[in-house]
Structure 1
């Protein structure tokens, strides 16, 4: 019992009395960035007579109309081939746009989408009135405007409307 205590104290004491010198791995040198800052006309010190002007602050919070239009360049309305996926834990999500195919699909699948608590991404929409219209069509579903280009590339999607679940991609 005494041996581990002694070893611990010795280790602690050695750590106080030993230290390594700083080793510079690489020093690439360089030039001062001051010429670049001078072109910005920033004050050089606290005594500067010229006050700093800050950009205007938006008083009203941003809302959904400020997020529009949304355009997903890698997605368009069209036929999607059903396929099996294995993405454990994925919350069911669906992609729709402001087009006739998406509206018909949403109207016919709304009950199922509500039943599985799917979240919708409105991937192509120009105006807030169109977004509101889609939400009315899918009453009770959470639907947010968002580009889905990254998701489309990762999932190999080219078209919507589509439902993506942990076990499959289907239209």
Structure 2
């Protein structure tokens, strides 16, 4: 998988972040939105997107709760919800902010739960109890298996990945 050392993920695109140091570079704890707030902003007649994003000098929205929500769903329900509701909300954010805002999903256990198949760069979500052993085809559901596009976020040369970054989901 390609890697990004640049800070572009802090200003544009969609990321799934699990490194606390990386998260702290873009937001304070009180600026993190709940998944519920995010989904309400994305639906017609919902709360709508803010005029300015809450973090990183108005350039970033950090959302927590995706991990826990996926764990509450059976794998088949999780696939439908991820590929429909979550993807639609991401697309809504992209439509509103274009290249002027970053959407980051804070996933503290993401390094253990997102699995990248080295031969194809396909990304899977590893389900937890009571559905341990099952996987969701994360990449196919969110970015249609355009596996050449997601990149591992590195904070410095030689560091472990801090998350995954995708410039634009279609």
Please indicate the TM-score interval, normalised by the length of the shorter structure. Answer: under 0.3
More strand by percentage: 2
| TM norm structure 1 | 0.25
Name which one, 1 or 2, has greater alpha-carbon Rg.
Answer: 1
Q: Which has the higher contact order (CA 8 A, sep 6+)?
A: 2
| TM norm structure 2 | 0.25
